[in-house]
């Protein structure tokens, strides 16, 4: 059974106002539907369809994904360091399941 | 969850099939009228997909650096980098960046939604491309205008395709 | 043979060994520069997602007893270099065993749990994790002693024409290295990057999965995961790659 693993790479610390690059790699087959598995069965569509990143009180990035996003997708985006706090990453999967991770940014 | 332009998304109002849209266009019915410059720039199918995202507005070909390999290693995972020139202030920023792959079964690939707090409009991601085709990126600017870039991509087969 | 004669023979053998290892290059050198960089980037190479899963499984303190970590208390120290010595002959059974086989053996014989099964996400994760602990370590697999008959079998397999296309591994992986096969560049086929994340698979897979794809490629019989044939071949390939660094988790097309 696949586990949900997410690798979030970002600096632990930044100066106020600095633009920080955040790199996210997540484990998900992103089954686009219509492919056939080893037993010859058609695998239904099941993808992560949204990643929302919240920081200092509001969403700072939202990635709407469709079937044209690769399996085990990588995304990198930027955000300004405003205050010390947690960035919350929430993935939503087809069917409604959600997965959450946090990463702390210390702002000096 | 589904984008309005994706063929698989069932909306309450009747979705026009591509053939109907072409026929309607030919008959000169009132659709989003595309200036001839856009039609000359991109084949009808892609131009139409872009127009649906911009609600008929004509994107300018400027401000976007779109990095995508011309010859992809493997269509399962294609690296793209998109940079849109923008001060990313409240007054002037990129609201979203939308990617279209004209020949994917689902041409709507992804949308990156940004805010002034993004600092830069600077995105990297891994996408799937079904076949050789044109890939377009359209960015919506806060002032209401749109910019775009596109690229012609070749997708090859790898040597040992896994069958077993 | 005199002492001087023996010393000369050893020196000549060492030279011969060094020369062939010097020629053979790892699979990563046949990747594009961006892909080579991606392989080495832990933030970017999806293989690390499996390494993470493997580390979680390895470090579990509850569940099956003994747990991995109760015997291997400090894997970063204690297991560094371990993966570079597989496949090897299992002293107890006399059978050839690879890293996957050793992990399953621990699971079944010591933990008294059902085997995970080849290509299961758990076994892939654990194999990727244990292999990653030896990343950069030069392969040091023996072809001598108890391993010799298995090595000879593997070498014969490598040199034998097979399948409807009637091709032997050596014809491409020695004779046509650097040439194109559809979108790919032919490598030496040594497998030091496995288990690897392969774009073609949309996931991480074992060396045996890759060998099965090779067999299919020449329209030959695909042997089972963990089969004697692929194990012997794996041993031959590891000896062929002696001195080259283990790259797992690799990134391949």
Tens digit of each residue's pLDDT (9 = 90 or more) over A73-94: 999 999 999 999 999 999 999 9
| A5:C46 CB<8 A | no
Distance of CA B86 to the CA centre of its chain: 19
Q: What confidence score (pLDDT) does residue B142 get?
A: 97
* Residue among A60, A63, A75 minimizing CB distance to B115: A60
Closest-approach residue (CA) in chain B for C201:
B162
CA distance A41 to B132: 28
Among partner residues A21, A68, A76, which is closest to B101 by beta-carbon distance? A68
Chain C residue with CA closest to A10: the answer is: C43
Q: Tens place of pLDDT for every residue, chain B, 164 residues?
A: 344 444 443 333 333 444 444 444 444 333 344 444 444 555 558 999 999 999 999 999 999 999 999 999 899 999 999 999 999 999 999 999 999 999 998 999 999 999 999 999 999 999 999 999 999 999 999 999 999 999 999 998 655 555 43
Which residues in C lie closer than 8 A to residue B74 (C-beta atoms)? Answer: 183, 199-200, 253
| pLDDT 10s digits, C181-238 | 877 899 999 999 999 999 999 999 999 999 999 999 999 999 999 999 999 999 999 9
Q: How far apart are CA C228 and CA C153, in angstroms?
A: 9
- Give the closest-approach CA distance of A25 to chain C in angstroms: 7
Residue C151, pLDDT score: 98
Indicate if the pLDDT at residue C20 is higher than 50: no
SS3 label, residue A98: strand
Task: Between C62 and C68, name the one with better pLDDT.
Answer: C68
C106 is catalytic: no
Which residues from A are below 8 Å from B126, CB to CB? 69-70, 72-75
* Angstrom distance (rounded) from CA B51 to CA B146: 10
Q: Which of B158, B161, B164 to mutate to test the interface with C (most CBs of C within 10 A)?
A: B158
CB B119 within 8 A of CB A78: yes
At B156 the pLDDT is: 81
Query: Residue C22: pLDDT above 60?
Result: no
**A interface test, pick of B88, B94, B113 with most A CB neighbours within 10 Å:** B113
* Residues of chain A found within 8 Å of residue B6, distances taken between Cβ atoms: 66
Residue C107 has pLDDT above 90, yes or no: yes
Token couple for B75: 């269509």
A 67-106 near B (Cβ less than 8 A): 67-80, 82, 94
Show which subunits contact C, needing at least 3 CB pairs below 8 angstroms: A, B
Q: List pLDDT tens digits, range A15-74.
A: 999 999 999 999 999 998 888 777 888 899 999 999 999 999 899 999 999 999 999 999
- Asked if B124 lies within 8 A of A71 by C-beta distance, the reply is no
**Residue C249: both structure tokens together:** 């988790």
């Amino acid at each position: 059974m696949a586990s949900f693993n997410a690798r979030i790479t970002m600096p632990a610390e930044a100066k106020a106002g600095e633009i920080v690059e955040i790199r996210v790699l997540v484990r998900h087959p992103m089954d686009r539907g219509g492919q056939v598995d080893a037993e010859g069965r058609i695998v239904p569509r099941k993808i992560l369809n949204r990643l929302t990143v919240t920081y200092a009180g509001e969403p700072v990035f939202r990635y709407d994904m469709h079937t044209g996003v690769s399996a085990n997708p990588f995304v990198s985006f930027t955000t300004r360091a405003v205050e010390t706090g947690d960035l919350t990453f929430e993935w939503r999967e087809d069917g409604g399941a959600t997965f959450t991770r946090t990463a702390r940014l210390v702002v000096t | 969850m589904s984008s309005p332009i994706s063929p698989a998304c069932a909306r309450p109002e009747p979705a026009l099939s591509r053939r109907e849209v072409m026929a309607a266009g030919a008959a000169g019915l009132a659709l989003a009228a595309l200036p001839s410059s856009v039609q000359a720039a991109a084949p009808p199918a892609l131009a139409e997909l872009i127009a649906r995202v911009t609600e008929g507005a004509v994107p300018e070909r400027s401000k976007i650096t779109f990095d995508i390999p011309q010859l992809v290693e493997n269509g399962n995972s294609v690296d793209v980098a998109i940079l849109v020139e923008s001060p990313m202030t409240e007054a002037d920023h990129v609201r979203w960046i939308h990617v279209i792959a004209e020949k994917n079964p689902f041409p709507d690939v992804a949308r990156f939604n940004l805010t002034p707090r993004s600092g830069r409009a600077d995105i990297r991601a891994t996408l799937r491309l079904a076949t050789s085709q044109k890939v377009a990126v359209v960015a919506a600017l806060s002032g209401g205008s749109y910019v775009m870039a596109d690229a012609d991509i070749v997708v090859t087969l790898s040597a040992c395709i896994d069958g077993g | 043979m005199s002492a001087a004669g023996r010393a000369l023979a050893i020196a000549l053998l060492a030279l011969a060994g060094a020369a062939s290892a010097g020629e053979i290059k790892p699979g990563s050198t046949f990747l594009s520069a961006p892909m080579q960089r991606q392989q080495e980037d832990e933030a970017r190479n999806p293989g690390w997602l499996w390494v993470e899963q493997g580390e979680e499984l390895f470090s579990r303190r509850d569940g099956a007893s003994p747990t991995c970590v109760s015997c291997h208390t400090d894997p970063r120290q204690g297991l560094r270099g371990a993966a570079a010595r597989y496949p090897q002959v299992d002293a107890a059974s006399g059978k050839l065993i690879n890293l996957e086989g050793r992990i399953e053996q621990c699971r079944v014989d010591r933990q008294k749990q059902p085997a995970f099964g080849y290509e299961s996400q758990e076994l892939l994760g654990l194999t990727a994790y244990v292999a990653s602990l030896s990343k950069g370590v030069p392969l040091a697999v023996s072809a001598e002693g108890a391993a010799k008959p298995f090595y000879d079998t593997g070498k014969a397999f490598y040199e034998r024409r097979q399948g409807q296309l009637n091709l032997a591994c050596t014809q491409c992986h020695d004779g046509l290295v650097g040439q194109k096969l559809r979108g790919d560049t032919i490598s030496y086929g040594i497998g030091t990057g496995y288990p690897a994340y392969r774009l073609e698979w949309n996931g991480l897979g074992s060396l045996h999965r890759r060998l099965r794809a090779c067999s299919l490629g020449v329209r030959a019989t695909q042997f089972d995961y963990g089969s004697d044939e692929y194990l012997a071949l794996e041993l031959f390939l590891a000896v062929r790659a002696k001195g080259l660094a283990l790259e797992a988790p690799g990134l391949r097309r």
